[in-house]
């Protein structure tokens, strides 16, 4: 996360996490991400329900001070 915000001109980072993947949800929370939109995705003809977790550059800056 630090590398991305320090080297790229982006305003937001996201993680796409399966709704049943509690371990990854906990990592996202520890990183300061918040849960947003829920989507259905298809990969190799299989459907998955995912949550979009994210953090803005401003929120990242606030937690790194």
Per-residue pLDDT at 65: 83
Strand, helix or coil for residue 43: strand
Residue 60 has pLDDT above 90, yes or no: yes
DSSP assigned state of 44: T
Give the rounded percent of residues in the chain with a pLDDT score beyond 70.
100
Domains of the chain, residue spans: 2-64
Token code pair at residue 41 = 């995705």
- Taking the C-alpha atoms of residue 16 and residue 41, their distance in angstroms, rounded to an integer, is 10
Torsion 58-36-25-3 (CA) sign: negative
Residue 3 has pLDDT above 90, yes or no: yes
Domain 2-64 indexed as CATH 1.20.140.150: no
Nearest to 28 by CA among 41, 40, 13: 13
Q: Region 3-20: what's the mean pLDDT? A: 96
């Amino acid at each position: 996360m630090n590398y991305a915000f320090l080297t790229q001109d982006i305003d937001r980072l996201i993680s796409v996490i399966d709704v049943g993947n509690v371990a990854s949800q906990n990592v996202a929370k520890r990183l300061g991400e918040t849960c947003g939109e829920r989507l259905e995705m298809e990969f190799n003809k299989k459907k998955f329900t995912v949550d979009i977790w994210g953090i803005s550059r401003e929120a990242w800056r606030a937690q790194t001070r």
